[in-house]
Amino acid sequence: MEKLLLFVKKIPGTLKSLLRRRFFLILLIIVGAVVALVFLFPYEKFLSPSKHSTSTTEKALKVIASPEAFGHEKSFLITKVTSEEIASFNGFSPFAGDIYSVTPSDGIDEFAVSPIKIRYYLPSKLYFGEQYANVRLAYIPLSASGVY
């Protein structure tokens, strides 16, 4: 117990001697600058998605692509598939809602570096509850190769 009290009594004197040294002063400034940077520039800003993202909307469908996804701004054409085109999809189960075709407006198919968000606003008449598979996504190729 005496050693602990002696140690506590020596702390103020030790700090005063350290403050007199330039090294400790420089170290204190560096630590203060790092703490200030952490509070001024939180890392959440770097993790949040870009506010300059491109979005294309068609009533129930919305495609959102950030500029980082392609290296340039890219927009998409969203068109509702006609009933004649739907009839040509032989072998597919019946569709309950509208079907949309999403194609790049510049006509160039390319991979995105970051994820693209596709939001489909499900009509309330098609939502049967959490116990049901309410949505099914499908990719239908342009050729008859059968590759999905």
Q: Is the pLDDT of residue 66 over 70?
A: yes
Long-range pairs of 80-89 with CB within 8 A, sequence gap ≥ 24: 89/140
Q: What span, in angstroms and rounded, lies between the C-alpha atoms of 86 and 46?
A: 43
Q: Is the pLDDT of residue 146 over 60?
A: no
Please tell me the predicted confidence (pLDDT) of residue 140: 61
Reported as a single tens digit per residue, the pLDDT across 17-61 is 766 777 777 888 899 999 888 777 765 555 454 555 566 666 778
Residue type, position 94, single letter: P
Please report which helix (H) or strand (E) contains residue 13, including its range: helix 2-19
State the average pLDDT for the chain.
74
Contacts of 108 (CB under 8 A, 6+ apart): none
Question: What angle, rounded to 10 degrees, do the helices at 22-40 and 2-19 form?
Answer: 90
Q: What span, in angstroms and rounded, lies between the C-alpha atoms of 135 and 123?
A: 11
Percent of the chain whose pLDDT exceeds 90: 3
Q: Where do the structural domains in the chain lie, given as residue ranges? A: 2-46, 49-126
pLDDT level of residue 148 (50, 70, 90 thresholds): very low
Of 73-77, 113-117, 125-129, the range with the lowest mean pLDDT is 125-129
Q: What span, in angstroms and rounded, lies between the C-alpha atoms of 67 and 74?
A: 7
Average of pLDDT values for 118-132? 75
Q: How many CB atoms lie within 10 A of CB 58?
A: 16
